[in-house]
Amino acid sequence: MTNTKNNLTNNNIKPKRFQLSIPMNVDYLIGENESIRTLIEISERLDYSKLNASYKRLPKKEEATPKQMFQLVILGFMNGIYSTRKLESSSKHDIRFLCILQGKPAPDHNRFWSFIKHRLQGEVMENLFYQLIHYLKELGEIDLTNLFVDGTKIEANANRYSFVWKKSTNKFETRLDVKIEEKKEELLITYPFLIKADTTLKDCLFVLKEYAKTTDVIFVYSRGKKKTQIQRDIELLANYLERKTKYEGYNLQLGVDVNSERSDSLTLLPLLDRMESGIGERHKNIIADAGYESEENYKGLVEREQTA
């Protein structure tokens, strides 16, 4: 008994841990109603030739294939996982991700970043999207009778917390435009030799900065120090330009297109052309709000035999 006790306490003997082994085939551990089953069912039907063609050299056989990388990323997004490091961690520990990998090692965060940044772009992503549209149509889940179109504003420096309402953004931007025009009228009087009526906000700021350099204007920032007029003007214009850039951002056309055009009305027909090119068919009815209303759009829809 004493010998046994000594053996158990011997420092050279370490207790065995984590001896539970998980079988390589973990499919049966996934519940019947898990969304990953739908993901796999649909994604296995897609043609990944364009995605594969984006590689100069395909990954090694023991590494996750482009299709598996796509499935892992989409599974992550479906579950609110956007960080590449969290995607890497999930691929190591989440049984749903392990199911997709089928025994292959988890891709590291750098590979996830490169895949999202350089592979899931442009024609590759659109091609996969339109394949999905065709498949859903085959299943009878959608048809091409009605297309609902809308846009929203996303700030140019957008992150997950900077989603903004389009109407609010447009209101604030309109107010800012008024202030900018009022300031430009003031600058025309103060600096008639530098600023012209057609000088843009960005150029106004550039011209004043260059003028301040050539005239050796001293900028002060400490409390109690009086700023020169040109410093106050430069700082105000810089603030206006930053806010203007923030408000303009991008006009996201729901479903397919990111467009830098600020007016909804100018995005409609290009959006429809792009969708028709990708799907190969036209929607019958186009439903959109008054932001898309214009004579050009009504005429274009009549020519395309689509109902507004």
Provide the CA 176 distance to its chain's centre, in angstroms. 26
Asked if the model's pLDDT at residue 244 lies above 80, the reply is: yes
Q: What is the pLDDT of residue 18?
A: 47
Dihedral angle over CA of 104, 35, 67, 119, nearest 10: -110
Tell me what pLDDT residue 143 has.
85
Across 46-61, average pLDDT: 93
pLDDT above 50 for 258: no
Strands 257-259 and 250-253 come out as antiparallel
Mean pLDDT of 121-144: 89
Check residue 31 and give its pLDDT: 81
Which value, to the nearest 10 degrees, does the dihedral of the CA atoms of residues 94, 97, 101, 105 take?
Answer: -40
Q: What percent of the chain has pLDDT over 90?
A: 55
Residue 263 has pLDDT above 60, yes or no: yes
pLDDT at 213 over 50: yes
Residue 267 has pLDDT above 60, yes or no: yes
Average model confidence (pLDDT) across the chain: 84
Predicted pLDDT of residue 169: 73
Mean pLDDT of 110-132: 92
DSSP codes, 171-226? HHHHHHHHHHHHHHHHHHHH-TTT--TT--HHHHHHHHHHHHHHTTPPP--STTPP
Q: What ranges do the domains of the chain cover? A: 27-138, 146-152+264-303, 166-248
Q: What is the mean pLDDT of residues 47-68?
A: 94
Quick check: helix, strand or coil at residue 61? coil
Could you give the CA distance from residue 173 to residue 170 in angstroms, rounded to a whole number?
Answer: 5
Q: In angstroms, how far is CA 153 from the centroid of its own chain?
A: 12
Could you tell me the pLDDT band of residue 212, with boundaries at 50, 70 and 90? very high
Transcribe 67-126 into DSSP letters: HHHHHHHHHHHHTT---HHHHHHHHHH-HHHHHHHTTPPPPPHHHHHHIIIIISSHHHHH
Which pLDDT value is given to residue 204? 94
Q: State mean pLDDT over 100-111.
A: 94
Half-sphere exposure of 40 (CA within 13 A, CB side): 16
pLDDT at 158 over 60: no
Q: Is the pLDDT of residue 12 over 80?
A: no
DSSP state of 161: T
Burial class (CB in 10 A: 0-12, 13-18, 19+), 108: middle
Rg of the Cα atoms in the chain: 29
Q: What is the pLDDT of residue 256?
A: 39
Residue 278 half-sphere exposure toward CB, CA atoms < 13 A:
23
So what's the pLDDT on residue 109? 95
> What pLDDT score does 253 carry?
59
Contact 87, 72 (CB under 8 A): yes
pLDDT tens string 165-193: 666 777 788 889 999 999 999 999 999 99
pTM: 0.59
Q: In the prediction, which pLDDT does 37 show?
A: 92
Comparing 48 with 3, the larger pLDDT belongs to 48
